[in-house]
Amino acid sequence: MRRFLLFSLLCIAVGLQAQQRNNVTSILEVLDILTGQRTVLKEFNYLIEAPNWTRDGKWIYFNSGGLIYKIDPEGKGEVGLVDTQFVSKCNNDHILSFDGKWLAVSSSSNSTTGWGSYVYVLPVEGGTPRLVTPYSPSYLHGWSPDGQTLAYCAFRSVATGADIYTISVNGGEEKRLTTAEGLDDGPEYSPDGKHIWFNSVRTGLMQVWRMNADGSEQTQMTFDETRNAWFPHVSPDGKQVIYITYHVGDLEPGQHLANYNVELWLMPAAGGQPKLVAELFGGQGTINTNSWAPDSRHVAFVSYRLNEKK
């Protein structure tokens, strides 16, 4: 099982590299969760991933080709490059601080090959990145509302598997929060800072879980035996959670790969019956990190269309 997890993560990295070969159209969309209406903001004839909506509502950030870009939510303006300086291998695990002043990214260092990933913090408008995590791979997903702590998925060895860790935004010693066998991923703080939402394969399928911010009271929140559930994102008002699912049998529970028929589901943050809100072709890159608009009504995501090979 543990060896399979390592193989799965390596497959993800290889898959991302393969997708960069301009054989995909990326469609940046916005979903109105009340009406179900989907609005296309812009189509790109190359791979983009993981939209983040800024706290002031003025921009949507995303990654492409190892760099970070931004676009206005109306999709009318030009795409702008965010200056990340020497950090130029960013993946789709990037987030914004609750106060809107900072951007944190996961990126391989320029001297690293393969699937290594470190966490860096820089000003939201761009600037000099500061290394936070001393070890790799570290895949960023959460930032505490007080701005002091980052949460991430880390694969430290085949023996320990992939678990959720936290670390001070200033660096230092990391704290391991999960110890279950298998993959724990996608940790994200609730807006009140009391909980960390995440996804875990510990039951045999990937499901949404929630725990206290200190790692205690790890509680399963979804129970669908027909779907593997990934990347729960809490709305700014703290009332709802959106997540992405793959159908059981389409891939292994510990995989979240590109180019599959997937779904977006919405559930109450207090727990309860989820509802289907979107079906699309996507997967990896669609909604890896929180993409809620400040109004807690709209969500940005990326769907994909494969182009014919020339």
- 258-295 tens-digit pLDDT: 999 999 999 999 999 999 999 999 999 999 999 999 99
Sign of the torsion angle spanned by Cα atoms 8, 14, 17, 22: negative
The reported pLDDT for the residue numbered 19 is: 43
Say which range, 30-39, 112-121, 133-142, has the weakest mean pLDDT: 112-121
Q: How far is CA 60 from the centre of its chain?
A: 14
Query: Percentages helix, strand, coil for the chain, rounded to the nearest 5?
Result: 5, 45, 45
Q: How far is CA 210 from the centre of its chain?
A: 16
The reported pLDDT for the residue numbered 309 is: 72
* Residues near 159 by beta carbon (within 8 Å), at least 6 away in sequence: 2
**Rounded Cα distance, 82 and 34, in Å:** 32
Q: Which of 132, 177, 134, 126 is nearest to 150 (CA)?
A: 132
Supply the DSSP symbol for 308: P
**Rounded Cα distance, 6 and 1, in Å:** 9
Q: Name the phi and psi angles at 199, rounded to 5.
A: -120, 145
- The pLDDT-based confidence of 75 (bands split at 50, 70, 90) is confident
Say which range, 51-60, 113-122, 131-140, 141-150, has the weakest mean pLDDT: 113-122
* Residues near 99 by beta carbon (within 8 Å), at least 6 away in sequence: 55, 147
What pTM was estimated for this model as a whole? 0.92
Class of 2-303 in CATH: mainly beta
Q: Which pLDDT tens digit goes with each residue over 104-137?
A: 999 987 655 556 899 999 999 999 999 999 899 9
Q: Is the pLDDT of residue 18 over 50?
A: no
Q: Which pLDDT tens digit goes with each residue over 151-209?
A: 999 988 766 679 999 999 999 999 999 999 899 999 999 999 999 999 999 999 999 99
How far separated are the first and last CA of the chain, in Å rounded?
A: 39
Tokens at residue 119, please? 């966490």
Q: Name 118's bridge partners.
A: 107
Q: Up-side HSE of residue 275: CA atoms within 13 Å toward CB?
A: 7
The reported pLDDT for the residue numbered 5 is: 45
